[in-house]
A and B are shown apart, each in its own frame.
Chain A
Amino acid sequence: MTRGSRFRNFAVGSPMLWIAVFVVVPYLIVVLFSFLTRDPEDIVSWTFTLENYRDIFSPVFLKVCRNSLVLALGTTALTLLLAYPFAYILTRIDENIRRFLLVLMIIPFWTSSLIRTYALIILFKANGLLNTFLLSTGLISEPLSILYTETAVFIGLVYTLLPFMILPLYASLLKLDRRLMEAARDLGATSRHVFFHIVLPLTLPGIIAGSTMVFLPALGLFYIPDLLGGARSMLIGNFIKNQFLTTSHWPLGSAASVVLTLLMVMLLVWFFISTRRAHSGDMEAVR
């Protein structure tokens, strides 16, 4: 064996081993537990059952899923609306400013997102920075109620996940062939036409990638809605946590995790299929 291939085996093998031991094996245990029976005397009882999957599709769980989906979809749509113009402008400005802006976007990652969520509380609370400022300028006479509302939840989620939308969009917009837009203009297309018929289809892979990177975490996140929204509703994350920590129903919690994972896998498959379609559309556009 040559040194090069030994290195290659090591470089590929060690992360694979890491993932196998700390991701695949624990996940297989989750899948196994989801087919076992709750036992208040022990962690689980080793009796095979499908009951957990039957129980999980209760009206309450469907409502919990709906809450999570609405929140995740809303966050994705908002981040897309904010990120697209930003990423577009980013590709058109001076390289030095661009680099500076990209660094600014990465800086928040140096702090834990939990800490940053607490910082948002300080900003939004009734006697917080924003209200104190607005009251002192006389723009409002009563403190605005922002904290513990849906608005606060969306602000928190969008703020935390925005970079995950901007970066793929930026990469995708950077690759955009300017000549195609110039050609369209020469042929008399309006700006709207250029955008909807050239730019948007060509950056579709970026949009899909960004949306996936925002949607999937938004589906599982529950500490941001809890902290900023006041925990008045229940999300999939809360539901799973309660099965493990309140009712000691590890099998039901495992089944809920499996359902959540399947939901995400389905979305990923859809993502791959639509990216491939977008890519072939790409080729047609060039032809």
Chain B
Amino acid sequence: MKKVLVLFLAFFLPLGVFAADREVYVFNWSQYIDPAVLELFQKETGIEVKYSTFESNEAMFAKLKILKKNGYDVAFPSNYFVERMSRLGMLKPLDRTKLPNMKNLNQGLLDKPYDPDNAYSVPYLWGSSAIGVNAKVVDPAAVTSWDDLWNPAYKGKVLLMDDVRDVFAMSLRSLGYSGNETDPARIKEAYEKLLKLKPSVKVFNSDSPKQPFLNNEVVIGQIWGGEVYQANEENPDIRYIYPKEGATFWADNMVIPASARNMDHAHAFIDFMCRPGIAKMNCEYVGYATSNAKAQEMLDEKTRNHKAVYPDKADLDRGEFQTDVGDAIMTYEKYWELLKTQ
């Protein structure tokens, strides 16, 4: 019996140690990667991917906050969480020499205010929220500005996102301020402008804003670009307009949490994800825009040129990425509650 046990240990123990050595712990949004990519990575590098998922930035943040060591090697926060986490020392700086494939990325998405010089993060998938219209009812050429949502002609036919930051960013931009404003007076001004819009609003929806458009319940409103792309398969009359004040952009990013086990494996994984072929697999599987310029070129022409998904450089430059507004979020939420209870 003892002999068997020793043999057993001799046989399996080193393997166990070896296995523990060759692992990378990845923490991503659910349904946000092509599973085949994980297999390819494992096959090529011999590093086993331990994959877990989350449903919200807040849940991910809470979990990373609790894990002090032996945590995840790679996580996927949204832009404004990258900023918050780097400020709180929850991220490790990236070693660019280990990420040669970053050269494939869309340069227009790098060095944004939420992470200057991409010291901590590599953009993965991204998109925008701007104005959607039903061209059957609203002339798309006549809509150029966020202010057009206030047009009394659309009373009772307007959709807003059910998200405090998205709605206030829109109002703030229309007043000529930044969507990341922290000045309480300006947030209040945006609230007062929104109060005038509230009677026109038919529905607040940020789960799937394309649905009320497709159901003919609304004719104008805020929408994600990717949703317009999907809606067009059913109804080509849903159009996407980048307002002259600029759209709001978001990106989900790969970062290395401070509690990472193995920096080399983390970098290897991130670099692998930046390969054009791999990025193409992921963006086709998930359905959002890839930050990888080389992968974008490999997509079919219709997708590659759909302005709702891949805006012109001018529209991208005019727009703004959401940043963490710190404690000003309390002011936003206060006015959001007032707006909702009016």
Interface residues of A (CB under 8 A from B): 40-43, 60, 63-64, 67, 121, 125-128, 143, 147-148, 226, 230-234, 238-239, 242, 244-249
Contact = CB atoms under 8 A, between A and B. Distances in A.
B30 interface: no
A234 B198 CA distance: 13
Identify which of A64, A242, A246 gathers the most chain B CB atoms within 10 Å of its CB: A246
Given A125-B217, A245-B56, A247-B329, A231 B337 contact: no
Nearest to B331: A247
Contacts of A246: 164, 329, 332-333, 336
B333 A148 contact: no
Identify which of B88, B205, B215, B336 gathers the most chain A CB atoms within 10 Å of its CB: B215
Contact of A40 (B326, B338, B341): B326
Contacts of A249: 330
Size bracket of the B interface: 20 to 34
B65 A42 contact: yes
Given A60-B337, A242-B336, A247-B333, 5 more contacts: A40-B327, A60-B338, A231-B162, A246-B336, A247-B330
A126 B217 contact: yes
B202 A41 contact: no
Contacts, number: 74
Given A60-B338, A233-B340, A127 B204 contact: no
B204 A231 contact: yes
Nearest to B198: A232
A246 B322 CA distance: 14
A128 B215 CA distance: 7
A249 B331 CA distance: 13
A226 B205 CA distance: 8
B203 A231 contact: yes
Given A64-B337, A244-B58, A231 B217 contact: no
15 contacts: A43-B62, A64-B337, A121-B211, A121-B215, A125-B215, A126-B216, A230-B203, A233-B340, A234-B340, A242-B164, A244-B58, A246-B329, A246-B336, A247-B330, A247-B333
